[in-house]
């Protein structure tokens, strides 16, 4: 029976490849009806190749289990297109109605679907949008500590930037378009954790009380609204092939070998121009979307998450002509259109794909600990593995690898350091916050939550903050206080202190807190590349909702003044020991594959570990 179903699916897929495009709305309705009624042929007929793999593979079982919560499928209630590639469909089930966001391929067939909150989001008048924007501006003035920092370091005028985006409001924006305008405005301000987010809807049940921190700032009704809008807009990407460009030393390079128009091009080609325009000038119109900062050149650059050329007004109208310099010095030119097929030839795994791991490296006698994210639920794993892998072994150094770590909980690295560092040790942080009634109320509710839930509170109490003027920030006044965290060192599994190295590259949030603390501890050293986004120790983000659109905005309210003497120091982006890589070496690093057993790679090919081995040798 199983083979027969697979044969039907494959047969329909082949025939579907030669069908004419179908309306996305019709395909979405037909796909959901077929999926929930068990019509395999109907699923295949309305699925793209990507969708068919999802609906007939492992993901299918998960989708069916999720659908079981809704009861029996009773039919389609309504549908509407949200753009060229997305359709919202509301279905009747025996338990209750359910909305789905269906994503479609260019030919209209379905790539996948996700569940949406079953709410209608009303359109706002221009007056309501302007009121929301004014409220956003007022709250940021009371909470965001970066107005002077960003002006001095980035030459970004936050009030002027917000005013410019406010002027774009016409009153004709859909809820999704208004969300994009707000999100673009916040990105252009270059804040920390500054965005519209549905993070508060994703709290586990054990942390539901965390919402009490934002009592009076976040309307409970805003949680579902923000989730609905962010799901609709999340993952929306401009259509077109990705050349895979990475930035290094002021230029963009192809990170992988790739095939286009039947020709294979090498990795490491330097981008010279697009339609005869230099990359710098081509990117000038997109400056607000560039979220990485090159401190040496004082310029923003593209992170590569979305191909920057697909955001250009030129894209999609006609092919763009790219000109590159090959590694051998020759130049190549080719057109690229939105419908072109480009195939990368990159590694299956890269150094930052190494999963959580604790491993003893016998040659250099190093305890290597890979931390891909600061997840509190991983603490028992690290505790057990550190104890096991260090038992009866000579350890001369410890490596904490946090490459591409997006952050999470400081409790993770605090616990790991407590297990590794014998004897008393401590670190301090000077927090600076905006002095406003809203900030004081937040601090009070923040502390009450931590005390009520018996969680470690790594912040000064409200009564410890004093108003101070910061000279290198034009004497701007902040509420400031210094908090010192002390560790007795009585739980360490190592008998004596050894050097601890933190491998840092492209990190954020809590991982940056670790590298900031490393600068205070003479036995901990950060090794890697300067970070393209601001770091430093912070606290939980401040969330607030806009009164009319019910969008929830977050912002990091704390500025880390620890050890700072100038505005740029407050970003804490530098590492203590830099790994010097030429553009060619950086491209090869992107193409290195640590494999399933990363130990040989770490010992012999990883440039970050080679730097650490050299530091150990020179001790």
pLDDT value at residue 187: 96
Segment 125-151 shows an average pLDDT of: 98
> Is 592 part of a structural domain of the chain?
yes
Shared domain for 370 and 496, answered yes or no, is yes
| Full domain range(s) for residue 272 | 245-338
> Is 33 part of a structural domain of the chain?
yes
Last residue of a domain, one of 292, 309, 338: 338
Instruction: Answer whether residue 24 shows pLDDT above 60.
Output: yes
Shared domain for 270 and 383, answered yes or no, is no
Residue 205: pLDDT band (50, 70, 90) is confident
pLDDT value at residue 19: 44
pTM: 0.87
Separation between Cα atoms, residue 336 and residue 244, nearest integer Å: 13
> Is 583 part of a structural domain of the chain?
yes
Nearest in space to 253 (alpha carbons), one of 291, 281, 279: 279
DSSP string covering 245-280: EEEETTEEEE-SEEEETTEEE-TTPEEEEETTB-HH
Question: How does pLDDT run across 240-254, given as a tens digit for each residue?
Answer: 799 999 999 999 999
Contact 559, 314 (CB under 8 A): no
H-only helix segments in 353-400: 379-390
pLDDT value at residue 4: 34
At 264 the three-state DSSP class reads strand
At 202 the three-state DSSP class reads helix
pLDDT value at residue 239: 63
Residue 18: pLDDT band (50, 70, 90) is very low
Instruction: Name the range with the highest mean pLDDT among 179-183, 339-343, 537-541.
Output: 179-183
Average pLDDT, the chain: 91
Question: How does pLDDT run across 251-266, given as a tens digit for each residue?
Answer: 999 999 999 999 999 9
> Is 121 part of a structural domain of the chain?
no
Shared domain for 510 and 380, answered yes or no, is yes
Question: How does pLDDT run across 316-331, given as a tens digit for each residue?
Answer: 788 999 999 999 999 9
Shared domain for 395 and 516, answered yes or no, is yes
pLDDT value at residue 89: 94
> Is 465 part of a structural domain of the chain?
no
Shared domain for 506 and 395, answered yes or no, is yes
Shared domain for 293 and 314, answered yes or no, is yes
Domains identified in the chain, total number = 3
Segment 125-145 shows an average pLDDT of: 98
pLDDT value at residue 7: 35
Residue 94: pLDDT band (50, 70, 90) is very high
Contact 413, 502 (CB under 8 A): no
pLDDT value at residue 16: 37
Question: How does pLDDT run across 261-286, given as a tens digit for each residue?
Answer: 999 999 999 999 999 999 999 998 88
Shared domain for 311 and 420, answered yes or no, is no
Separation between Cα atoms, residue 467 and residue 137, nearest integer Å: 23
Instruction: Answer whether residue 14 shows pLDDT above 80.
Output: no
Instruction: Answer whether residue 168 shows pLDDT above 90.
Output: yes
Residue 82: pLDDT band (50, 70, 90) is confident
Handedness of CA 404, 213, 158, 569 (dihedral sign): negative
Separation between Cα atoms, residue 616 and residue 600, nearest integer Å: 18
Instruction: Answer whether residue 1 shows pLDDT above 50.
Output: no
Residue 438: pLDDT band (50, 70, 90) is very high
Question: How does pLDDT run across 468-510, given as a tens digit for each residue?
Answer: 999 999 999 999 999 999 999 999 999 999 999 999 999 999 9
> Is 179 part of a structural domain of the chain?
no
* Domain harbouring 524, CATH code: 3.30.750.24
> Is 467 part of a structural domain of the chain?
no
pLDDT value at residue 281: 93
Last residue of a domain, one of 57, 89, 116: 116
> Is 482 part of a structural domain of the chain?
no
Instruction: Answer whether residue 15 shows pLDDT above 50.
Output: no
Instruction: Answer whether residue 563 shows pLDDT above 70.
Output: yes
Instruction: Answer whether residue 454 shows pLDDT above 80.
Output: no
Separation between Cα atoms, residue 398 and residue 564, nearest integer Å: 28
Shared domain for 65 and 24, answered yes or no, is yes
Residue 27 parent element (H or E):
helix 24-37
Instruction: Answer whether residue 235 shows pLDDT above 70.
Output: no
Pairing of strands 299-301, 320-325: unpaired
Segment 203-216 shows an average pLDDT of: 88
Instruction: Answer whether residue 172 shows pLDDT above 50.
Output: yes
Nearest in space to 248 (alpha carbons), one of 467, 536, 25, 529: 529
Residue 6: pLDDT band (50, 70, 90) is very low
pLDDT above 70 as % of the chain = 95
Contact 566, 604 (CB under 8 A): no
pLDDT value at residue 84: 66
Shared domain for 518 and 616, answered yes or no, is yes
459 vs 57, more confident = 459
Shared domain for 285 and 361, answered yes or no, is no
Last residue of a domain, one of 116, 148, 173: 116
* Domain harbouring 12, CATH code: 3.10.450
Please give the DSSP secondary-structure letter assigned to residue 360: E
Separation between Cα atoms, residue 271 and residue 343, nearest integer Å: 18
pLDDT value at residue 460: 76
Separation between Cα atoms, residue 402 and residue 351, nearest integer Å: 11
């Amino acid at each position: 029976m199983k083979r027969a179903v697979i044969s039907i699916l494959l047969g329909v897929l082949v025939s579907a490849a030669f069908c004419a495009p179908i309306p996305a709305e019709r395909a979405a309705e037909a796909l959901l009806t077929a999926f929930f009624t068990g019509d395999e042929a109907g699923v295949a007929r309305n699925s793209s190749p990507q969708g068919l793999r999802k609906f007939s593979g492992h993901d299918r079982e998960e989708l069916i289990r999720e659908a079981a919560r809704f009861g029996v499928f009773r039919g389609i209630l309504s549908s509407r297109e949200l753009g060229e590639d997305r359709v919202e469909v509301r279905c009747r089930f025996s338990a209750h109605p359910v909305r789905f966001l269906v994503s479609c391929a260019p030919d209209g067939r379905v790539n996948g679907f996700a569940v949406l909150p079953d709410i209608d989001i009303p359109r706002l008048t221009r007056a309501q949008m302007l009121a929301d924007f004014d409220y956003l501006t007022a709250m940021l003035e009371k909470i965001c500590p970066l107005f002077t920092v960003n002006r001095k370091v980035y030459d970004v005028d936050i009030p002027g930037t917000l005013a410019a985006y406010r002027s774009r409001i016409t009153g004709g924006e859909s809820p999704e378009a208004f969300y994009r305008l707000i999100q673009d405005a916040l990105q252009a301000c270059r804040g920390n954790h500054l965005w519209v987010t549905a993070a508060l809807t994703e709290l586990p049940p054990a942390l539901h009380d965390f919402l009490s921190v934002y009592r009076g700032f976040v309307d409970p009704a805003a949680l579902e609204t923000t989730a609905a809008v962010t799901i609709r807009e999340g993952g929306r990407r401009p259509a077109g092939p990705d050349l895979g460009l990475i930035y290094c030393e002021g230029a963009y390079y192809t990170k992988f070998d790739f095939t286009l128009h039947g020709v294979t091009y090498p990795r490491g080609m330097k981008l010279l121009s697009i339609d005869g325009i230099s990359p710098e000038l081509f990117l000038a119109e997109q400056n607000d979307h560039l979220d990485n900062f090159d401190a040496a050149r004082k310029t923003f650059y593209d992170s590569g998450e979305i191909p920057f050329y697909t955001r250009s007004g030129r894209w999609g109208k006609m092919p763009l002509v790219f000109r590159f310099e090959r590694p051998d010095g020759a130049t190549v030119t080719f057109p690229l259109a939105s419908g072109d097929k480009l195939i990368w030839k990159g590694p299956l795994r890269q150094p930052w794909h190494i999963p959580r791991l604790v491993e003893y490296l016998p040659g250099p006698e190093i305890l290597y600990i890979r931390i891909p994210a600061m997840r509190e639920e991983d603490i028992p794993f690290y505790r057990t593995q550190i104890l096991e892998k260090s038992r009866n072994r000579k350890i001369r150094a410890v490596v904490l690898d946090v490459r591409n770590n997006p952050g999470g909980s400081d409790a993770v690295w605090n616990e790991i350091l407590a297990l590794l560092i014998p004897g008393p040790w401590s670190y301090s942080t000077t927090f600076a916050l905006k002095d406003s009634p809203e900030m004081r109320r937040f601090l009070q509710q923040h502390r009450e939550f931590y005390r009520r839930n018996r969680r470690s509170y790594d912040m000064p109490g409200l009564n410890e903050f004093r108003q101070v003027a910061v000279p290198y920030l034009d004497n701007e006044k902040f509420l400031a206080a210094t908090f010192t965290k002390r560790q007795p060192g009585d739980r360490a599994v190592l008998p004596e202190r050894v050097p601890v190295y933190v491998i840092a590259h492209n990190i954020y949030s809590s991982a940056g807190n670790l590298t900031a603390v490393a600068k205070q501890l003479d036995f901990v050293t950060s090794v890697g590349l300067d970070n393209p986004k601001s770091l430093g120790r912070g606290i939980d983000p401040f969330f607030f909702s806009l009164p009319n659109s019910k969008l929830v905005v977050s912002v990091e309210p704390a500025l880390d003044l620890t050890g700072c003497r100038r505005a740029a120091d407050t970003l804490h982006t530098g590492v203590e020991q830099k790994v010097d890589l030429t553009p060619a070496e950086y491209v090869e690093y992107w193409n290195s594959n640590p494999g399933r057993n990363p130990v040989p790679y770490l010992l012999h090919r990883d440039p970050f570990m080679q730097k650490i081995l050299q530091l150990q040798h020179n001790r």
